[in-house]
Copies of this chain bind each other. A is one copy, B any other.
């Protein structure tokens, strides 16, 4: 009982392999014949060989996905969104982590192209489009999520980092804060968030508070906060992500500062833990699943010959208890 091939099904059903193939793929086949074929398929437990199909048709019904890091919940949700969109169309996907290493990313792409993926979804890719062209020549359709660097003529999906940061900062301003610090994040997302922060402040006629660098980790947020606290002069801080915000909580506690009593905090991402911190963290919720889903739909559109366009999605502000309303104004 080795692998069952289409030949065996053909023989069992008393037809030719062409007819079996047609019966299975919706070709013109007499209903009665189709029934016989399907019965044989079931009886024998036939399962078409995707590799052979791919070879014959030139299409693999697979899309390649590259994500920077599989350990974060956000990318996991994105991936799930993608899978949901693709599954509906009978597409599978192979996903791998670039770990933010461009060399590794190129190798992964090579591997995926070898597997004849019909499209590529690059999440937070570190590769410039021109570099891609140069290295790979003709590429299958590409969809970008949260790409770093320059523009390209390909659909790109991303969250509105700038707008969300603006909103978060404004939330702080409206609560009466006048000196608002910022713990900055890395990469494009970090820069965009910083820009939103600055815009909100400028619009309110406030000087940007102290700004320090973070690295998107708890430890980074902790260190950044200690640096910030060394100089002081602010009553609130907008932190570029929740993980760093947790570092802020910790550092503030160690300094005997109360949140939000002495320091108001707004994070970014709305990770699962945010709502359960003490105090619950006000933050921005990323529509990660949606991002992935839309990217998946775009892939399908591209494959269908259409010309989908990218989107910038807003993030919802989740107001919780880490921001204090300041009555008097500036401290």
- A273 x B218 contact (CB < 8 A): yes
Q: Which of B45, B51, B218, B272 contacts A116 (CB 8 A)?
A: B51
A45 to B133, CA, bound (A): 13
Contact B50–A115 (Cβ < 8 Å): yes
**Residue A226 CB within 8 A of the other chain:** no
Q: In the complex the two chains form, is B50's CB within 8 Å of A52's CB?
A: no
Residues of B close to A272: CB separation below 8 A: 217-218, 243
Give how many copies assemble into the complex.
Answer: 2
Does A47 lie within 8 Å of B276, measured CB to CB? no
From B52, B77, B246, A55 is in contact (CB under 8 Å) with B52
Least Cβ distance of A282 to chain B in Å? 16
* A204 CB, nearest partner CB in chain B, Å: 31
Segment at the interface with B among A66-74, A120-128, A167-175: A66-74
Contact B71 A80 (CB under 8 A): yes
Q: Render A28-72 as a binary contact track against B, CB cut-off 8 A, 1 for contact.
A: 000000000000000001011111101100001000000001111
- Please determine whether B278 and A249 come into contact, CB atoms closer than 8 angstroms: yes
Contact with A47, one of B83, B96, B113, B253 (Cβ below 8 angstroms): B113
Nearest CB to that of A70 among chain B residues? B76
The 8 Å CB contact of A71, one of B49, B77, B111, B115, is B77
Residues A83 and B97 in contact, CB atoms below 8 Å apart = yes
Q: Is B83 touching A76 in the complex (CB atoms < 8 A)?
A: no
Residues of B within 8 A of A253 (CB): 278
In the complex, per-residue mask of A111-141: 1 if CB is within 8 Å of any chain B CB, else 0? 1011110000000000000000000011000
Q: Is A159 an interface residue (CB 8 A)?
A: no
- Whether A47 and B115, one on each chain, are in contact in the complex, defined by CB atoms closer than 8 angstroms, is no
**Cα distance A217–B97 when bound, in Å?**
26
Bound complex: CA of A272 vs CA of B271, how far in Å? 12
Residues of B within 8 A of A218 (CB): 272-273, 275-276
Q: Would you call A262 an interface residue if the criterion is a C-beta within 8 Å of the partner chain's C-beta atoms?
A: no
Residues of B near A110 (CB, < 8 A) are 47
CB distance from A89 to the nearest CB of B (A): 14
A222 to B138, CA, bound (A): 53
CB <8 Å contact, B276 and A222:
yes
- Tell me whether A76 and B72 are in contact in the complex, defined as CB-CB below 8 angstroms, given that A116-B51, A246-B273, A272-B217 are known contacts: yes
A-B residue pairs, 8 tightest by C-beta: A71-B76, A70-B76, A51-B54, A218-B276, A50-B114, A71-B73, A250-B276, A246-B276
Which positions in A face B, CB cutoff 8 Å?
1, 45, 47-52, 54-55, 60, 69-73, 76-77, 79-80, 83, 92, 94-97, 110-111, 113-116, 137-138, 217-218, 222, 243, 246-247, 249-250, 253, 272-273, 275-278
Ordered by A's residue number, 20 sampled pairs between the chains whose C-beta atoms are within 8 Å are A48-B114, A50-B115, A50-B116, A51-B52, A51-B115, A52-B55, A55-B55, A69-B76, A70-B70, A71-B76, A71-B77, A73-B73, A83-B97, A92-B111, A218-B273, A218-B275, A243-B272, A246-B273, A273-B273, A278-B278
